[in-house]
Amino acid sequence: MNAVVADLELHAPDIWGRSVGSVFFGGGTPSLMSAAGMEFLMSRIRSIVKLEPNAEITLEANPGAINQDRFSAYQQAGVNRLSIGVQSFNPIHLQALGRIHSSDDAANAVVSARQAGFENFNLDLMHGLPGQTARHACDDINAALELAPSHISYYQLTLEPNTLFAARPPELPGEETLWDIQQQGKQLLADAGYRQYEVSAYARDNRQCQHNLNYWLFGDYLGIGAGAHSKLTFPAHNSIVRHSKRKQPADYMRTADTPDRIQGQRELGLDDTRLEFMMNALRLNDGFQTADFLSRTGEDIDPLKATIDTLETDGLLTRTPFSVAPTDNGLRYLDSVLEKFLPDAADNSYATKETRVIPIINSDHSA
């Protein structure tokens, strides 16, 4: 806990004058934190950063590892939103994922959250699981709908490097089954009043996750903790900087109060800035305002207009004089859309500019 606070304190010069609209306690198991620990951490956050009055403060929670008393204590400390990692209600699929909770644990976690006063909460569901059919996936959604969350994340399983699944890949649903799963799931959620606003996110009653919306709209964020990543814009220097913290907890805690806690840092070049904006903003069903492109990248969108024209002609993007958004086909084939914004894409009209990499060796990272 002290390491996290020390890390944040060293970032104070980076965030002076900025207001913070959301805080997200993630990383898998923050709900194991004691009530006293959460109270201490929130008090230190408030003393270091300027939290907006209605800031969204989310805590990830694992079913089966939480109870009403702890939920109540978290709420009293300032947490106002939960993200509960259900993944599936099917015991076979939970076992395949290596989860130790049951479907009853998930339902009980929601009951406990509501009894503690939480009404704004997300349920995480995964699809494309080993042996999963469209019927299985719809059963998961129906079970989630019975719990009436304000938000549902519905995302496809991906095989991450250096994991057991990557080393021994299981048999996953084929492309046709995946498409059925996605389409049937989307329809079920829409019929229940959940509007899709991002590739894998559905919300009702204007309960979109503000923290993630900031990511998708290429906003700045500060990552605190082992392995955390940040993106910070420094208008005075006309630069956007990404950096990451040491991944190993022991290394991170040893260096948390020094500049050495930052393992790597790089300044985004112009091409990377444009591409990363598109990679994020085109995940949103409503896309982005062209004015946001200018304010977030510091660049005009004009050099990309030829690419946008082509994608509009192909039925993958739609636009107005003030906005750009993906069509349904654009979301389905998003990877192909984004390829068109790569610096070396044949129909791009702007030149490649090399990204500058800034190593961090016993030096202050602030620009």
- pLDDT per position as a tens digit, 108-147: 999 999 999 999 999 999 999 999 999 999 999 999 999 9
- Residue 21 has which token pair? 């609209």
Residues 99 and 114: their CA atoms lie apart, in Å, by 23
87: closest CA among 130, 56, 35?
Answer: 130
Contact criterion met (CB below 8 Å) for 350 and 271? yes
Return the pLDDT at 273.
Answer: 95
Neighbouring CB atoms inside 10 A of 191's CB total 9
User: Cβ neighbours of residue 349 under 8 Å, at least 6 residues apart?
Assistant: 303, 306, 307
Question: Which residues of the chain are modeled with pLDDT < 70?
Answer: 28, 162-167, 345-367
Residue 160: the pLDDT is 73
**CB–CB of 330/311 below 8 Å?**
yes
HSE (CB half, 13 Å, CA atoms) of 82? 30
Instruction: Sketch out the chain's domains with CATH numbers.
Output: 19-215 (3.20.20.70)
State the chain's mean pLDDT as an integer: 89
| 322-342 per-position pLDDT tens digit | 999 999 999 999 999 999 999
Distance separating alpha carbons of residues 329 and 347, to the nearest angstrom: 20
b/e per residue, 290-301, with b = 16+ CB within 10 A? bebbeebbeeeb
The three-class DSSP label of residue 267 is strand
Largest CA distance in the chain: 59
* pLDDT value for 162: 66
pLDDT at res. 96: 87
CA atoms within 13 A on the CB side of 34: 4
Q: Read off φ and ψ for residue 316, nearest 5 degrees.
A: -105, -20
Instruction: Compute the distance between CA of residue 196 and CA of residue 53 in angstroms, rounded to an integer.
Output: 27
For tokens 């702007």, the residue is: 350
